[in-house]
Structure 1
């Protein structure tokens, strides 16, 4: 048998698909997952096709003794377990810090103790560490705007500004050497998590990859979690013919990358030969506006949902995100193959087959308003 791989968060959207791919390639697979109700609802077990094939460690990634047992005998750690709600992170500060940073620190300490044979660590980083990322100023070229001003956004001025002259900017793709400017607590935790993994991979002389996932979507993503995934939120609303509220002016954009492309990139990181630890963007390099996304959702379901572009905004949200994938192609020899349109057909067809459950979306917005983190 090939190496044994431990996937934290391996029962989730990305992790379960990665587990299938690794098992199919002859690897041994262990999964550590706490089956968080916010993500999994009432489900407390692995997908049926993984049961009996992947070893399951059921519990919290913050449980050091559990992590020690799970890591024993593993040659590769794929660390996907994390809290991922941008808005929620802004008021659950300690929880997000404990899970995303504290648990990663414990995993590094276990490896430093010398009782494991880990040769590679792959961590799910995030586009959120860039904040607004790269932008283009007509006078100063490529610049890196700081966090947007609440005062400006309350006036309907949503575009990031040039840090040199203050002029409005336009979107360009963001490379890995862009400075860190996280605008949410979630983004800050992912920055620290990634830097910690790459630093200790260097210290231990092993492979390390921080994969900066863009907006991952596809069949199997949580339709229950109101704190992450506008695609899931809009799909639920459209299927129920409920109102859809679009933040800002609807022209904010994201790099939506299909889950199979993310799994393939992660798989290639697992199989990579010995090399210098690296951070890599995992995206398509193509940005789609939220308004374009909503149009596709409404059309697919022939929904009667009323769409309102509200001008409201959340603290911590960024305006645009689009990955420069040059390094992904150079280091892992991979270029995503799924178009947004093809991925949407797969996702929406799957979503249509799922039971339509009560949504906590409105409650999640009320929580943000009560904390002063949503305006308009």
Structure 2
């Protein structure tokens, strides 16, 4: 098939392109090489340069969509602004890229009945859930509201039952969970996903919205200070700088390795499904941020001081882990890479590049100046 990957020069897009090429598909990459993600690099990796068609352009440009779209049976829509914290003050940019860009796609598809598009896959996010699913001793599975800043200032970080206000235990979040995003990024992903699934049904284009958890692995951006704590911690640990952990360090994430993410995405491209669905993509593991910081520091010789600061950012969630039952049933997906192994591969790769620290410090100052970062970061 002829497959268009928006944001295809990025981390997930490049890895996905390689996998699709190996299966005999033809791949077009549409990317604007955003410096926040790519730094000064404005080229595809050497192995992709001769194998894919590259379109330099922006998904916010109608003419780019109109000239690139024809001839593609599958669209994998990865182009997005992805910083949870940054989305809280770069609101218009996140709206334009994540929502207006996707709206242009469906505007064009709706004007031409013979567009030839047979499937669309969009990168959604676990951020649409907000805090996600928890278990209350009295009320069973519940979905807590976003945490209150005044309580976090007093060191009360755990979500509580929305019925009885008792602290709850985090459990894997299913796709049936309500939408409760706690950041504007999450809100844009919610609407982008709903747009994809709605028009998938209306236009008869089977579509998948993949709710990626925290994707990591060799090849991810080490320069983007707004996403990826593994990249941030590895930069700090390599130079022996302090690694300051937000909240109490017990907040946790579902870190899913890039190879598993690619396998799930390829399964959607090749799926025989005729309807449109949202599907979680995760690792089946939960890892605390403190565990991550300590593991990264150990790998690089333990030169950094790892400390909990109690600081917190508006828009962050406490815990996150995906329920993978639908992914197993619908895609035959089972994560293969354990976090311990994936982390080792990522750090060995990161070790070959120069650490980048200035961007992270700048991002913290931006959030602090806007009242979105509280405490000593």
Q: Which TM-score bucket, shorter chain as reference?
A: over 0.9
2:63 equivalent in structure 1: 65
1:206 equivalent in structure 2: 205
Whether 1:112 and 2:113 are equivalent positions in the alignment is no
1:188 equivalent in structure 2: 187
**In 2, distance between residues paired with 1:366 and 1:201?**
41
Match runs of 1:69-84 below 5 Å: 69-84=67-82
> 62-71 vs 108-117, which deviates more?
108-117
Whether 1:310 and 2:319 are equivalent positions in the alignment is no
2:42 equivalent in structure 1: 44
1:274 equivalent in structure 2: 273
Deviation of 1:136 (Å) = 1.0
1:27 equivalent in structure 2: 25
Deviations 1:49-77 (A, max 9, x none): 11121101101111111111111100000
Question: Does the 8 A contact of 2:236 with 2:357 survive in 1?
Answer: no
Whether 1:341 and 2:340 are equivalent positions in the alignment is yes
Deviation of 1:357 (Å) = 3.4
1:357 equivalent in structure 2: 356
**In 2, distance between residues paired with 1:224 and 1:123?**
24
Deviations 1:122-169 (A, max 9, x none): 000000000000001111111000000001000000000100001111
1:260 equivalent in structure 2: 259
SS of structure 1 residue aligned to 2:71: coil
> 32-41 vs 273-282, which deviates more?
273-282
TM-score (norm 1): 0.98
**In 2, distance between residues paired with 1:209 and 1:99?**
19
Question: Does the 8 A contact of 1:32 with 1:58 survive in 2?
Answer: yes
Whether 1:223 and 2:241 are equivalent positions in the alignment is no
Question: Does the 8 A contact of 1:206 with 1:274 survive in 2?
Answer: no
**In 2, distance between residues paired with 1:211 and 1:69?**
26
SS of structure 2 residue aligned to 1:86: coil
Question: Does the 8 A contact of 1:280 with 1:327 survive in 2?
Answer: yes
**In 2, distance between residues paired with 1:357 and 1:139?**
48
1:18 corresponds to which of 16, 19, 22: 16
Deviation of 1:277 (Å) = 0.3
Unaligned runs of 5+ in 2: none
Deviation of 1:170 (Å) = 1.1
**In 2, distance between residues paired with 1:238 and 1:303?**
8
Question: Does the 8 A contact of 1:224 with 1:359 survive in 2?
Answer: no
Question: Does the 8 A contact of 1:11 with 1:46 survive in 2?
Answer: yes
Question: Does the 8 A contact of 1:9 with 1:79 survive in 2?
Answer: yes
Deviation of 1:359 (Å) = 3.0
TM-score (norm 2): 0.98
Number of aligned residue pairs: give it: 374
**In 1, distance between residues paired with 2:29 and 2:372?**
35
Question: Does the 8 A contact of 2:128 with 2:190 survive in 1?
Answer: yes
Question: Does the 8 A contact of 1:239 with 1:303 survive in 2?
Answer: no
**In 1, distance between residues paired with 2:346 and 2:233?**
12
Deviations 1:229-252 (A, max 9, x none): 011000000001111110000000
**In 2, distance between residues paired with 1:94 and 1:72?**
29
Runs (4+) of structure 1 moved beyond 2 Å?
A: 355-359
Deviation of 1:358 (Å) = 4.3
**In 2, distance between residues paired with 1:54 and 1:127?**
30
Deviation of 1:112 (Å) = 1.2
Whether 1:156 and 2:155 are equivalent positions in the alignment is yes
2:290 equivalent in structure 1: 291
SS of structure 2 residue aligned to 1:116: coil
2:54 equivalent in structure 1: 56
**In 1, distance between residues paired with 2:173 and 2:38?**
32
